[in-house]
Amino acid sequence: MTDTHADYRLSQLDQLEAESIHIFREVAAEFEKPVLMFSGGKDSIVMLRLAEKAFYPAKIPFPVLQVDTGLDFPEVLATRDNWVNRLGVNLVVASIDDAIANGVVVDDGKTSRNRLQIGTLLNAIEENGFTAAFGGGRRDEEKARAKERVYSHRDEFGQWDPKNQRPELWSLYNGRLHAGEHMRIFPISNWTELDVWDYIGREGIEIPQIYFSHQRRVFERDGMLMSETPLNPLRPGEVVEERTVRFRTCGDITLTGCVESTASTVDEIIDEISIATLTERGATRGDDRFSEAAMEDRKKEGYF
Amino acid sequence: MSTVKSTQMDLLRFATAGSVDDGKSTLIGRLLLDSKSIFADQLEAVESTSKSKGYDYTDLALLTDGLRSEREQGITIDVAYRYFATPNRKFIIADTPGHVQYTRNMVTGASTADLGLVLVDARQGLTEQSRRHAVILSLLRVPHLVLAVNKMDLVDYSQEVYDKIHNEFTQFATKLNIPDLEVIPISALAGDNVVNRSENMSWYSGPTLMHHLENVHVASDRDLIDARFPVQYVVRPKSDEFHDYRGYAGMVAGGVLKPGDEVVVLPSGMTSKISKIDLFDKEVTEAFPPMSVTVHLEDDVDVSRGDMIARVKNAPQPSQDIDAMICWMTTTPLKPRQKLAIKHTTRTARALVKDIQYRLDVNTLHRDQETKELGVNEIGRVQLRTTVPLLCDPYSQNRTTGSFILIDEATGVTVGAGMINQAN
């Protein structure tokens, strides 16, 4: 038996964990068909861990949905498969290539894969009849997210209306939906980047190797270090060189930059981000750089 | 640099109220800046926006106003959540707008807060708005209140000004439920008494705002006496390995649960003993708020979502007649005879509005018994009749088992927030 503290105090990380587990159980109890949106990144891995704890020793009572951009890091897909196999959950893959082939989204050659994810995701939610989709969004990530509810209502077009959100009080969540609508659920809303890392360290759970320091052939683009890959052809003037790097986020390989780092353990990463001066998105996400409201606009359309 | 270990830190949730004019956003910006919670790219974005708007200073309010429409209008509309940490404590700020037309947002932010921070402009003194903020925080039973007297630099750091506001507010607060009050003179813009002690106010011997936030004692705010466990979900693995496993999952809402405790399951009234308490794959000797655990009972009694496990001699009263303070949150007014959905702990039912006893003027505390309806952002005392018994406590005793939300059955929108006075 594990003894709890004599003064009945829970550390803030234990409080966050308890709150997230409460959210998972609430959704499983009240929604007909939930699904967990899994990117393979550290935030969605923390979500999976919390879901595992919420229903243990029963299996997680909902499937996992991944949008296959065709531009995912192979290391991320490997980690995804390990988690899915260990937990015995169903994996639903929605592929952008299939969505393009079936005319669900249109590849005009100008729209980034990141944008095409939106239509692919919404189509997968609609086709499978999912009524609640867990996402790993955190309020500390970005200004538009700071105002998002834990239960974030989406209309029948999958859109978010930031000016018309339901009030959310105490730990009483309102999951009412009309036909065709769905709810995005953000169980780790109140976690910060540091909390996520502390939790990964404490739980000793597997995350993709690209988060740790490694040698990689990279080139500089728009002030970011990008991975050399046939999927992302070099532009004139760009030079490839080998550097010691790691990734702070896991996104589309053509848009996600890495940072120079020698941090090869979770503890070293925690030390590194404790003194970092750039947000994880500002440092390494090309998709958030286009305008001040880039995230708000994508979220309104139905982004994660 | 010492590494902050969030595995050991404790947590303080606080709600801020005030308008841009009171310097609220500047204060939050300063707390984030001085605790090094703002990153260079965020600061750069704010600096460049300030410059492009022609300001000759960096508008820290731009850090907190997240939505495009808010930046356009220059006001905070919705509750925004902010995060920062010092070596011993993590802070979650619910940043709420101060105007009367956003009372519902402030109620939302205050519902989960351990501490409320009300700002006043030292030049203006107490206003109708600051009184209203204190009333709402008191109604929501936020146990700690800080009145930050801001812009002290603009009144020559005058002790007289501070004393006047302090006395006036203390007098007003006697009519409210405010167990702990601290009045701190600050200048958010100049940084006096925010993180660093001011050299301009030697007459003030109290804590700086940050020192107070870091040290205010919140561990005793929870109810550790009255055991309350709303059953959220029944865990039944149906696997070979855990064939007979049947656990009741939920978050402890009050008291301390231990294996061996004699308990009653409500509303059925059946009694049993707690056989064990699981936290993931481990058994624990005790469970207390706000732990999420799985409770097992010795007897095979019928327990499902919406039931509550409590102690045999200390259980909430199941009741269909609820007397509550309600904050109304939608433009169509609340009227007698109206039917709504009600969610209380893990139990959902329907409710009928039997009577609206009075409307509370949150500026003056006057009880208006003439008006028999509640408009948007209004708060009043209401009698409800529910289709099934709710297992409730007074909100003053337990903020979890004493609160509920009202949902419009046609639109599905949350339209009201309720705090139970008593169940009959």
Residue of chain B minimizing CA distance to A144 = B66
Q: Are B99 and B132 in contact (CB under 8 A)?
A: no
Q: Does B376 touch chain A (CB under 8 A)?
A: no
Peptide bond connecting A187 to the previous residue in cis, omega within 30 degrees of 0:
no
**pLDDT tens-digit map of B377-412:** 999 999 999 999 999 999 999 999 999 999 999 999
Domains identified in chain A, total number: 2
**CATH of residue A49:** 3.40.50.620
Q: What angle do CA A37, A136, B5 make, to 5 degrees?
A: 145
Q: Are residues A49 and A144 in the same domain?
A: yes
- Asked, for residue A171, whether it belongs to a domain, the answer is yes
User: What domain range includes position A89?
Assistant: 12-194+293-301
Q: Which of A22, A270, A279 sits opposite B41 (nearest CB)?
A: A279
Higher pLDDT, B293 or A294: B293
Token pair listed for A7? 């003064």
Q: Report pLDDT for A284.
A: 62
Is it the case that residue B20 has pLDDT exceeding 90?
A: no
Domain ranges of chain B: 10-221, 228-311, 317-423
Q: What is the mean pLDDT of residues B310-320?
A: 94
The C-alpha of B234 sits at a distance from chain A's nearest C-alpha, in angstroms, of 9
How many CA atoms lie within 13 Å of B141's alpha carbon, on the beta-carbon side? 17
- Asked, for residue A3, whether it belongs to a domain, the answer is no
Q: Are B210 and B195 in contact (CB under 8 A)?
A: yes
- Asked, for residue A169, whether it belongs to a domain, the answer is yes
Write out chain B residues lying below 8 Å of A172, CB-based: 343-344, 403-405
Q: Are residues A233 and A146 in the same domain?
A: no
Higher pLDDT, A260 or B78: A260
CA-CA distance, B264 to B270, in Å (whole number)?
A: 6
Of B277-291, B348-362, B363-377, least confident by mean pLDDT is: B363-377
Q: Are residues A253 and A150 in the same domain?
A: no
- Asked, for residue A5, whether it belongs to a domain, the answer is no
CATH number at B10-221: 3.40.50.300
Q: Are residues A220 and A186 in the same domain?
A: no
Q: Report pLDDT for A285.
A: 60
CA-CA distance, A184 to A182, in Å (whole number)?
A: 7
Q: Which of A21, A189, A278 sits opposite B41 (nearest CB)?
A: A278
pLDDT category at A89 given cuts 50, 70, 90 is very high
CA-CA distance, B17 to B33, in Å (whole number)?
A: 19
Q: Report pLDDT for B382.
A: 97
Reported CATH class of domain B228-311: mainly beta
Instruction: Select B317-423's CATH number: 3.30.1330.10, 3.40.50.2300, 2.60.40.60, 2.40.30.10.
Output: 2.40.30.10
Is it the case that residue B56 has pLDDT exceeding 50?
A: yes
- Asked, for residue A140, whether it belongs to a domain, the answer is yes
Write out chain B residues lying below 8 Å of A274, CB-based: 1, 3-4
Q: Report pLDDT for B19.
A: 64
- Asked, for residue A59, whether it belongs to a domain, the answer is yes
Peptide bond connecting B290 to the previous residue in cis, omega within 30 degrees of 0:
yes
Q: Are residues A102 and A184 in the same domain?
A: yes
The C-alpha of A248 sits at a distance from chain B's nearest C-alpha, in angstroms, of 15
Q: Does B242 touch chain A (CB under 8 A)?
A: yes
Q: Are residues A24 and A171 in the same domain?
A: yes
B228-311 and B317-423, same CATH topology: yes
pLDDT category at B349 given cuts 50, 70, 90 is very high
Interface mutation vs chain B, best among A53, A139, A161, A169, most B CBs within 10 Å = A169
Is it the case that residue A290 has pLDDT exceeding 60?
A: no
Q: Which of B80, B242, B346 sits opposite A146 (nearest CB)?
A: B80
Average pLDDT, chain A: 88
Q: Are residues A277 and A297 in the same domain?
A: no
Q: Are residues A62 and A149 in the same domain?
A: yes
**pLDDT tens-digit map of B226-262:** 999 999 999 999 888 898 899 999 999 999 999 999 9
Q: Are residues A188 and A213 in the same domain?
A: no
Q: Are residues A71 and A212 in the same domain?
A: no
Q: Does B53 touch chain A (CB under 8 A)?
A: no
- Asked, for residue A41, whether it belongs to a domain, the answer is yes
What angle, rounded to 10 degrees, do the helices at A42-55 and A74-87 form?
Answer: 0
**Chain B 247-276, residues with CB within 8 Å of chain A CB atoms:** 249-251, 256
Is it the case that residue B157 has pLDDT exceeding 90?
A: yes
Q: Which of B41, B105, B284 sits opposite A4 (nearest CB)?
A: B284
Q: Are residues A214 and A279 in the same domain?
A: yes
**pLDDT tens-digit map of A204-245:** 999 999 999 999 999 999 888 999 999 889 999 999 999 999
- Using a cut of 0.95, tell me whether the model's pTM lies above it: no
Residue % of chain B over a pLDDT of 90? 67
Q: Are residues A215 and A187 in the same domain?
A: no
pLDDT category at A272 given cuts 50, 70, 90 is confident
Token pair listed for B106? 């402030």
Q: B81 and A10: CB-CB below 8 Å?
A: no
- Asked, for residue A23, whether it belongs to a domain, the answer is yes
Q: Report pLDDT for B3.
A: 45
The complex scores an ipTM of 0.93
Q: B285 and A176: CB-CB below 8 Å?
A: no
